[in-house]
Copies of this chain bind each other. A is one copy, B any other.
Amino acid sequence: MKFNIALLAGDGIGPEVINEAVKVSDAIAKKFSHEITWTPALTGACAIDAVGVPYPDETHEICMAADAVLFGAIGHPKYDNDPKATVRPEQGLLLMRKKLGLFANVRPTFTFPSLIDNSPLKRERIEGTDLIFLRELTGGIYFGEKGRKDDGETAYDTCTYTRSEVKRLAKKGFELAMTRSKKLCCVDKANVLETSRLWRETVQEMEKEYPEVTVSYEFVDAVAMRLVQWPNSYDVLITENLFGDILTDEASVISGSMGLMPSASVGEHTSLYEPIHGSYPQATGLDIANPLATVLSAAMMFEDAFGLKEEAAAIRAVVNKSLEQGIVTEDLASKDSKAYKTSEVGDWLVANL
């Protein structure tokens, strides 16, 4: 098969981790006789620096024309802590999500047996955790009307959802639950928010179409607690954009494998794969960042975007092997073992595929 993949390395350590994912993907392509064309494009702070906007039209066209998008990370400290900055790398991310119609962010949290002791949680709490958040990504308060009134003294943000937006996300949730343990948790704040009541009402109506799925409805504050207490009691969770932002990040650290968590954003026009970690500016250029989350994001891409299960399994297997053998970057190296460089981990994966 032939694939055209848009390559958005982004800022900070983005280019370094993307580089290793490309190496591994190319090796897989070779092994299974596929042909990948990578088309690099600018996004984030580097795009602002180069052309003044964080998600240039040219980048958008490249993404639209591609079979999938592989994304690194964006963000640069020079844009932080300046509430009045008018152009920000994050705007590029939001624009990209919106223009590509990436309405569902798929965020798994799972554990690696060899890393379980890295978790801040006790072993018995975290063992067996294998959950997936579906976060709505193109609606809610992120994209509602916002602004100032009264000479700038009053600020407002509007959270809006339509029934059809909830439905298409929930549908993915029900479908995913059907392929797993048939348990779906709808996370909302229906005791306070009207948008949450629309979410709950819509999901309740859909229940009859999926009689085998057991749906629970939980308030976002209760989920924030239970994720820390009994993460392994969850399976598939669906939620709106802002709750998803907070809860998926909370979930990511409980596994102790944050540097390894991949994600996908799927939608109308294409799908995008990216590590959940950020641009880690302090590590830029040092060849120390952990490339495994990006490599595993590439595995998700092979499986979900291209339907290539065997290829994905091969990537996951070699990642597991590298972990077992301690071929890991400094974030995962134990006190008395060697820390490998980003590029060395990538080389090892390619050599051991």
Contact = CB atoms under 8 A, between A and B. Distances in A.
Contact of A250 (B120, B159, B224, B243): B224
Interface stretch (A29-37, A41-49, A160-168, A341-349): A160-168
B228 A245 contact: no
Interface in A181-230: 189-195, 197-198, 200-201, 204, 217, 220-222, 224-225, 227-229
A21 to B, nearest CB: 23
Interface stretch (A149-157, A300-308, A309-317, A323-331): A149-157
B201 A228 contact: no
A245 B247 CA distance: 13
A83 B200 contact: yes
A144 interface: yes
B147 A194 contact: yes
**How many copies of the polypeptide does the oligomer hold?**
2
A159 B160 contact: no
Given A247-B224, A250-B250, A253-B225, A191 B90 contact: yes
A304 to B, nearest CB: 24
Main secondary structure of the interface of A (DSSP, over half): helix
Interface residues of A, number: 63
Contact of A204 (B83, B195, B252): B83
A227 B247 CA distance: 12
A158 interface: yes
Contacts of A250: 221, 224-225, 227-228, 250
20 contacts: A81-B217, A83-B200, A84-B201, A88-B191, A120-B122, A120-B228, A121-B121, A121-B122, A141-B192, A146-B193, A147-B194, A153-B162, A155-B198, A157-B195, A221-B249, A225-B253, A227-B250, A228-B228, A228-B250, A229-B253
Interface of A: 80-81, 83-84, 88, 90, 94, 120-122, 125, 141-142, 144, 146-148, 150, 152-164, 189-195, 197-198, 200-201, 204, 217, 220-222, 224-225, 227-229, 242-243, 245-247, 249-250, 252-254, 258
